[in-house]
Amino acid sequence: MKYLFFLVLPFLLACSQSKDQKISNINGYWEIAEIENEAGEVKAFTISQNIDFFEINPNGKGIRKKVQPNALGEFVTSNSSENIDVIEEDGLFKLQYSTALDTWIEIVKKATKEELVLINEAGIIYTYRKYKPLALE
């Protein structure tokens, strides 16, 4: 089933943006909105303590870092990050992540200014919304 999914996926993504547009849209802070597994079960998140920060250069190299917003509107972060290489292959736009311990790929299904959808190698779909700080009055 997983293989059929990856065979059909290029056709679903045929109406795609340019590489520069996608990179521009991916850059920034993203909050997980929902996760959908291979069986179609969806777990929605109304708020998340962890935010994913993406920074990809026009040459297709960059990082993803986990950060946590604090009450002052700043981000608390660790020194760890994942390296990113952008790959265009078989009509797909992919993010190849690497750390000292592992390498993996996610397919970019959608990358707009407000929504980012990534599919991992197991077929799990991660939908992100652009992070907006909570307004404390």
34 phi, psi to nearest 5 deg: -160, 160
Cα–Cα distances in Å, from 135 out to 14, 45, 52, 63, 82? 38, 19, 20, 28, 30
- In this prediction, residue 12 carries a pLDDT of 47
At residue 13, the pLDDT reads 47
Dihedral over Cα of 20, 21, 22, 25: its sign? positive
Tokens of 101: 């311990």
pLDDT at 79: 85
Model pTM score: 0.83
- Supply the pLDDT for residue 11: 46
Instruction: Provide block-wise average pLDDT over 10 residues at a time, the chain (137 residues).
Output: 50 58 94 96 92 96 95 86 95 95 97 97 97 74
Domains in the chain, CATH or no CATH each: 2-130 (2.40.128.280)
Length, in residues, of the chain? 137
Cα→Cα distances 91→70, 95, 101, 112, 119, Å: 40, 13, 28, 18, 15
Q: What pLDDT is attached to residue 20?
A: 82
